Copies of this chain bind each other. A is one copy, B any other.
Amino acid sequence: MSAKKIKNSKLTIDDIAKLAGVSKATVSYVINDKPGVSQELRCKIKKIIEDCNYVPNSAARGLAGEKTHFIGLVIPDVSDMFYANIIRGVEKTSNKYNYLLNLYTTHGEEEKEQRVIKLINSSMVDGLIIMAYYIKDNFIDFLKNEGIPFVFIDYPTKDEEIYSVVVDNEAGAFEAAEYLISLGHQKIAFLEGHEAAWDSRARFIGFLKALTVNSIEFNPLLVEKGDFTREGGYKATKKLLEKGEEFTAIFASNDQMAIGAVRAIKEKGLKVPDNISIIGFDNIEASSIIDPPLTTVMQPIYEIGKKATEILIRLINEEKIEQKKFMLKTKLIKRNSCKALN
């Protein structure tokens, strides 16, 4: 029986119309849940569609101006668990609503816009989810102009017309810093990520706020620049160690840097967390494997993709959504890299 179904895959709307003894317009109304067909007929046609395993041709639907049920996801890369989990969130959610996914990785910035333009021009997607480090204003204008619904992920634009879902990095960092402080740490070093990265800055701000709230004076000498890499964290920590400025804990902008920091500290003959506590950010897989397992801040990555997709699909369905900015909460994961200062 299933073999029979499979062979019917090239049916068109005309075939269904003939089988049902109606015009193809009627079938189209049923497919798109539009009014103008009696309940009875509707059921009959639906049954035929089901039995024949008929699936409307997306290309034709796209051409005819109707929805294609494809969502475009624009993302910097895939070979990174962070992005991979976002893709997963988007994929699972779009599937749930019967949408299929078009994937566009941007790698280098340059060609990105062209590729998205191509995508939009191809009439193949009903909407776009966009994640990028930096998005030019005139590109945003282009998107608005096209009238295609889109949602930004993890991109902190002030533009009030734009829908976006971001992680509350500041609150996450605040919570993490407060945890360190609750353990008795006052001299806390901070390892910055990329200078331009807004999330690194948000984390830094959260860190500073926690200091302020707890009346701890901020020591600029305890801040070291990095670049979100393991190597960067290693080098920054070595510098810190050589500087001679005393500190009992390190707040790293991300786990990769925290892992580099652990290595630098071990090389110096010191112990984590006995001599120095370390806290990271991201909760990457490696953070649970290294010795000691890293205390860190988990981002709701899967949920970001899910939320963005839900918003986009509602937008595609022309629902009105009052709220434009969505902020998702992080979660502190306590493991063994932080210790109370006795």
Binding site for B on A (CB under 8 A): 1-7, 9-10, 53, 55-60, 62-63, 65, 68, 70, 77-81, 83-85, 87-88, 91-92, 95, 100-105, 107, 113, 115, 117-124, 138-139, 141-142, 145-147, 259, 285-286, 289-291, 302
Contact = CB atoms under 8 A, between A and B. Distances in A.
**Per DSSP, are chain A's interface residues mostly helix, strand or loop, or mixed?**
helix
7 contacts: A4-B147, A6-B117, A58-B124, A59-B122, A100-B122, A103-B103, A285-B285
A56 B121 CA distance: 7
10 A-B pairs with the lowest CB-CB distances in the bound complex, closest first: A58-B122, A59-B62, A7-B147, A59-B123, A55-B121, A79-B88, A59-B59, A103-B103, A84-B84, A6-B142
A102 B105 contact: no
Contacts of A145: 6-7, 9
Contacts of A91: 78, 103, 105
Contacts of A107: 92
B117 A55 contact: yes
A313 to B, nearest CB: 17
Given A5-B65, A63-B57, A286-B285, A124 B121 contact: no
A85 B81 contact: no
B2 A138 contact: yes
B81 A77 contact: no
A117 B59 contact: no
A55 B122 contact: yes
